[in-house]
Amino acid sequence: MPDGPRTVRFRLVPIAAALAGLLAVLTGALSRHGASEVAHRTLPVLGFLVAITVVAELSDEAGLFDVAARRAALLGRGRTRTLFLLVCVLATATTTVLSLDTTAVLLTPVVLALASALELDPLPFAFATVWLANTASLLLPVSNLTNLLAETKTGLGAVEFASHSWPAQLALLVVTLAVLLLRHRRTLRGRYSTPPEVAVEDRVLLRLSAVVTLAVGPLLVAGLAPWVVATAAAVVLVAGFAARRPASVRPRRLAGLLPWQLVLMTLGLFLVVQTLLEHGLDGTISDLAGAGGSSTGGLLRLGGVAAVASNLVNNLPAFLAVEPVAHGTTQVLALLVGVNAGPLVLVWGSLATLLWRERCASRGVRVGAFAFAREGLLVAPLAVVSGCLALAWR
C-alpha cells in the first residue's frame, strides 16, 4: 500500500531538521565551538541508537521476540491481567538497565508478538511499553540518553544517581501503572489460551541473540560507554549472521536496518537548538522556568517547562535548551522528570516514542498522532507533577 500524505509529510520532518541544522553551520549562525560541542555530546548518543537498532532487528529475525512472548504467556498462566503486569515489570526492568530506547526497540516486538499469538487487544500492551519506556527511565544514568547528558553536570555515579532519583522514579511508576490499569480495566479482563511452540529456524542464532541481549545490561551497569557496548553487541550479531545466514547482513540489507531518519532529525534539532541558545534562547528559557530554586513551585515550573519543550522539539534538544537554568542535583532531576516522563503527548517528543511507533507499524499496529496524544494526556501531566513533588518532599 503506498504511503499516505501524512506519512510522506512525517518523513519530510527529519530532512527539514537536518537541512536547518546544516544551514545554521554553513551560514555561521552557529559558531564552530557550538557545533563542536554538539558533536562531542551527541555523537556517542546517536552511535548507541544506531547500534542498538541493529541488535534489535537481528534479534527479531532470529526469533528471540517470538520465543520470549511464548515464555511470558506461560508465566501468565492464562490470566490477562497477570500477563499485563508481567509486561509492565519487564518494561520497567529493561528500561532501567538497558535504556528507554532499547525498551522501545527490543521489548515492543515481544509485546506485540505476544498479543497477536494470544489474540489479545495489542493496544494496552503497546501503550504500557511506550509509557514505561519513558516514565521508568529516571533511576540510573544508562536508563535514558538524557540522563547520560546530565551525568557530567551532576557528577554523580550510578549508585549516587539512584540514591537521589529513586523517590521521583517510584512516584512516576505508581502513577503510570495506576493510569494503565484504570484506562484498560475492561480490556484486561478474562483469560487466554497458551499458544503452540514457536518454530525456530536457527537455534544457534537464537541463543546468540539471547546471550548478546542479556549481556548488554550488566556491561552498561559496569560503567562501559553505552555506544561501545551497543556497537560490540551489533558486531557480534552481524558476525554470527554472516556465518550462518549471510543474506541477512549484506551491506544493502544492513543499511536498511539503520534509523537514518531519526539520526538526521535529532542531529539537526541539536544544531538548531544550540544555534538558538547562542542567540538568546537561554534567556527566554530562564524567564519561563523562573528562579524558584528547589522549592516545590520552582521544581514544578522547571519540570513543566521541560515537558512542554520536549513535546515541541524532542526531549534530547529540549534538555540542552533547559539545562543552563538547572542548578544543583535536585533541579537537574526535576529537569529530567520533565524531559523523561513529559514527552508522551506528541509523537516526536522522544526518540523512544518514534522507535516504538516504527516497531508497532512493522507488526501491523498503527497508532495515529491524535490517538497517541489523547492517551498521553492521561498520564504525562500527572507523572511530571508527581515526580517533581517527590523531589520537593524528599
Q: Which pLDDT tens digit goes with each residue over 305-327?
A: 999 989 987 888 888 888 888 88
List the beta bridge partners of residue 191: 79
**CA–CA gap between residue 319 and residue 333 (Å, rounded):** 11
pLDDT, residue 327, reads: 84
Other residues' Cβ atoms within 10 Å of the Cβ of residue 191: 13
* pTM for this entry: 0.81
Mean pLDDT of the region 58-68: 83
**79 three-class SS:** strand
Q: Does position 9 have pLDDT exceeding 60, yes or no?
A: no
Q: Let me know how long the chain is.
A: 394
pLDDT, residue 1, reads: 40
pLDDT, residue 233, reads: 92
Per the model's pLDDT, the better-predicted residue between 260 and 58 turns out to be 58
Per the model's pLDDT, the better-predicted residue between 282 and 276 turns out to be 276
pLDDT, residue 376, reads: 95
Mean pLDDT of the region 237-256: 86
**CA–CA gap between residue 319 and residue 380 (Å, rounded):** 17
**CA–CA gap between residue 347 and residue 342 (Å, rounded):** 12
Mean pLDDT lowest among 45-59, 117-131, 296-310: 45-59
Q: Does position 7 have pLDDT exceeding 60, yes or no?
A: no
Confidence grade of residue 387 (pLDDT, cut at 50, 70, 90): very high
Q: What is the DSSP string of 278-335?
A: IIIIHHHHHHHH-S-TTSHHHHHHHHHHHHHHHHHH-HHHHHHHHGGG--SHHHHHHH
Residue 246 CB partners (closer than 8 Å, separation 6+): none
Residues 182-231 pLDDT 10s: 999 999 988 888 766 777 788 899 999 999 988 887 887 777 777 888 89
Instruction: Report CA 218 to chain centroid distance, whole Å.
Output: 19
Residue 115 corresponds to which cell in the numbers above? Answer: 498479543
Q: What is the DSSP string of 126-139?
A: HHHHHHHHHHT--S
DSSP letter for 194, please: P
**CA–CA gap between residue 63 and residue 59 (Å, rounded):** 7
Which residue reads 511470558 in cell numbers? 72
Mean pLDDT of the region 160-184: 94
List the beta bridge partners of residue 79: 191
C-alpha atoms less than 13 angstroms from C-alpha of 346 in its C-beta half-sphere: 13
Mean pLDDT of the region 125-135: 95
Q: Does position 69 have pLDDT exceeding 90, yes or no?
A: no
DSSP letter for 224, please: -
Mean pLDDT of the region 143-160: 80
% of the chain with per-residue pLDDT over 70: 94
pLDDT, residue 4, reads: 47
Mean pLDDT of the region 98-123: 84
CA–CA distances in Å: residue 316 to residues 105, 252, 263, 322, 354:
18, 30, 12, 10, 13
**CA–CA gap between residue 361 and residue 3 (Å, rounded):** 12
pLDDT, residue 381, reads: 96
CA–CA distances in Å: residue 221 to residues 96, 178, 195, 237, 329:
10, 29, 35, 21, 21
